[in-house]
């Protein structure tokens, strides 16, 4: 009877905390980071220390992990870094950037610069007044444009001087809205749409309308050699700063007392448009919509995430105000405009993985200095995930466990003081 009573009290306390948290959210009072995150013990955030430790351990079972950062209630309750890296170290986003740039569509809609998600792309890109005329912005964001999707999956775009020119040349292959195909061209077209709608380049928009407003000061926003913002990939920043972007979505687009992205757009973003999408790397049922993946969406939890090619993730559990960021090992070239330089002769390979291996081999034998000889985001073998993919379902379960409250009266463990590293 006593155990039952304590369990009921615990549930009531948890429900009360959740209600209070929601009330604070409505007033914009929940904690947000200033120039630095507030670091607290897991118990101070009503989180089990062993759940935090288990999640970080799982992340670092994969040697490719550079950093993992866990945010609960707007405060940092756990982080860990690989040897040689720290809280200031940059990681590169790869396709995590898609979620950043998609948010700008929502802001442009909020400002009246774009009519709606159902506007035709041809409204903003004149050359789409052809067989592509039925494609809408929603189709681009949901990856259902029907644009041609060859076997190489448009990885060849990454090796062109002008990525936008490449994207504009891709013709229609299927009726829009019928088939999910993860097509980088859809995302690169956002560069043209945003510039036409606002008169401002997409990377400048991102800096002005999101990054600076949520306290991100150090970043690299990559452009191609022709000067086009690469809106389908390639943002460099720290794991802590990726977590800021995740927190913005966890808070329904609100940052303190400022609504940066409308809640309506965030609600639409966190609506699963496609389910049970197969993967060649992850044995886990996932969904997709609005340039975000869905890792879990059931009565137990709803976890959406931005995702990058080699295992970069920003997970958001909006209902529980939890953000978990994991990035892989990366060495920045210090540049921001793509230039293949010494590797230009090899770009005919047209495959990111093969070219990455070629670059790594040339570096190993001393024929290539990846900082001095080229300028591009590049992830070598040491930053390519393996266990994180194979353990994906277990990691999602561990993330769900983080949201389970500390039982009232439980004895604090030594892990409370050591989970944050």
Per-residue pLDDT tens over the stretch 148-182 = 999 888 989 999 999 999 999 999 999 999 999 99
Per DSSP, helices labelled H in 73-206 are 96-110, 137-141, 163-168, 184-198, 202-206
pLDDT averaged over every residue in the chain: 90
With cut-offs at 50, 70 and 90, classify the pLDDT of residue 371: confident
pLDDT surpassing 80 at residue 62: yes
What is the predicted pLDDT for the residue at 352?
82
Split at pLDDT 50, 70, 90, the class of 406 is low
Is the separation of the CB atoms in 241 and 312 below 8 Å? no
Note whether residue 168 is domain-resident.
yes
Any domain includes 92? yes
- % residues pLDDT > 90 (the chain): 78
pLDDT of 278 > 90? The answer is no
CB 301 within 8 A of CB 319: yes
Q: What's the CA gap between 328 and 68, in Å, rounded?
A: 9
Q: Which structure tokens are listed for 46?
A: 């009503």
**CB atoms closer than 10 angstroms to residue 215:** 16
Number of domains in the chain: 1
**Which CATH number is 161's domain given?**
3.40.710.10
* Structure confidence at residue 40 (pLDDT): 98
Give the mean pLDDT of 292-312. Answer: 96
Q: In what order do the strands lie in the sheet with 302-307?
A: 75-81, 65-72, 322-328, 313-317, 302-307, 292-297, 286-289, 274-277
- Report if residue 142 sits inside a domain: yes
Collect all residues with Cβ–Cβ distance below 8 Å to 38 and sequence separation of at least 6. Answer: 31, 74, 75, 76
The confidence score (pLDDT) of residue 394 equals 97
> Which tokens in the block code for residue 333?
């070239």
In a domain, 368, yes or no: no
CB 321 within 8 A of CB 72: yes
Question: Shortest CA distance to 72 belongs to which of 38, 25, 29?
Answer: 38
Residue 46 inside a domain? The answer is yes
Lowest mean pLDDT among 15-19, 98-102, 151-155, 328-332: 15-19
350 inside domain: no
Mean pLDDT of 375-401: 96
E-assigned strand segments in 31-97: 65-72, 75-81, 90-92
Closest listed residue to residue 313, CA positions, set 35, 5, 39, 96: 96
Q: With contact defined as beta carbons under 8 Å apart, do 33 and 215 qualify? A: yes
Sign of torsion over alpha carbons 244, 264, 294, 150: negative
- Report the phi/psi class of residue 188: left, alpha or beta, with left for phi > 0 and alpha for psi in -120 to 50: alpha
Domain contains 6? no
Secondary structure (DSSP) of 186-199: HHHHHHHHHHHHHS
Residue of 417, 326, 319 lying closest to 72 (CA atoms): 319
> pLDDT tens across 281-294, in order?
898 989 999 999 99
The tokens describing 399, both together, are 């993330």
Q: Which domain holds residue 83?
A: 31-334+379-418
Could you tell me if residue 364 is inside a domain?
no
């Amino acid at each position: 009877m006593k155990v039952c009573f304590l369990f009921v009290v615990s549930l009531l306390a948890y429900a009360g905390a959740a209600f209070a948290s929601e009330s604070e959210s409505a007033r914009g009072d929940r904690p947000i980071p200033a120039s630095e995150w507030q670091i607290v013990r897991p118990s101070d955030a009503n989180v089990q220390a062993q759940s935090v430790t288990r999640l970080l351990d799982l992340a670092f079972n994969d040697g490719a992990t550079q950093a993992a950062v866990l945010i609960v209630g707007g405060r940092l309750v756990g982080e860990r870094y690989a040897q040689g890296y720290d809280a200031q170290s940059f990681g590169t986003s790869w396709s995590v950037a898609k979620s950043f740039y998609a948010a700008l569509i929502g802001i442009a809609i909020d400002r009246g610069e774009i009519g709606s998600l159902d506007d035709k792309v041809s409204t903003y890109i004149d050359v789409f007044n052809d067989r592509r005329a039925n494609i809408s912005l929603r189709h681009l964001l949901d990856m259902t444009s029907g644009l041609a999707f060859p076997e190489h999956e448009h990885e060849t775009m990454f090796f062109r001087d002008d990525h936008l020119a490449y994207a504009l040349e891709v013709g229609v292959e299927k009726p829009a809205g019928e088939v999910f195909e993860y097509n980088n061209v859809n995302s690169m077209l956002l560069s043209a749409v945003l510039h036409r709608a606002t008169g401002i380049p997409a990377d400048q928009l991102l800096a002005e309308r999101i990054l600076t407003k949520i306290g991100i000061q150090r970043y690299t926003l990559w452009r191609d050699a022709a000067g086009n913002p690469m809106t389908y990939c390639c943002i460099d920043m720290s794991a802590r700063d990726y977590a800021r972007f995740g927190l913005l979505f966890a808070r329904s687009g609100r940052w303190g007392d400022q609504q940066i992205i409308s809640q309506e757009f965030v609600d639409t973003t966190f609506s699963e448009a496609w389910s049970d999408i197969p993967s060649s790397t992850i044995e886990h049922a996932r969904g997709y919509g609005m340039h975000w993946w869905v890792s879990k969406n059931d009565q137990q939890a709803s976890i959406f995430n931005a995702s990058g090619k080699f295992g970069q993730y920003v997970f958001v559990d909006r209902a529980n105000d939890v953000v978990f960021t994991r990035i892989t090992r990366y060495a920045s070239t210090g540049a921001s405009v793509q230039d293949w330089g010494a590797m230009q002769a090899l770009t005919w390979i047209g495959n990111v993985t093969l070219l990455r291996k070629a670059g790594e081999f040339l570096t190993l034998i001393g024929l290539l200095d990846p900082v001095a000889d080229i300028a591009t985001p590049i992830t070598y073998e040491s930053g390519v995930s393996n266990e994180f993919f194979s353990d994906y379902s277990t990691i999602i379960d561990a993330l769900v466990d983080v949201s389970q409250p500390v039982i009232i009266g439980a004895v604090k463990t030594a892990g409370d003081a050591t989970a944050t590293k």
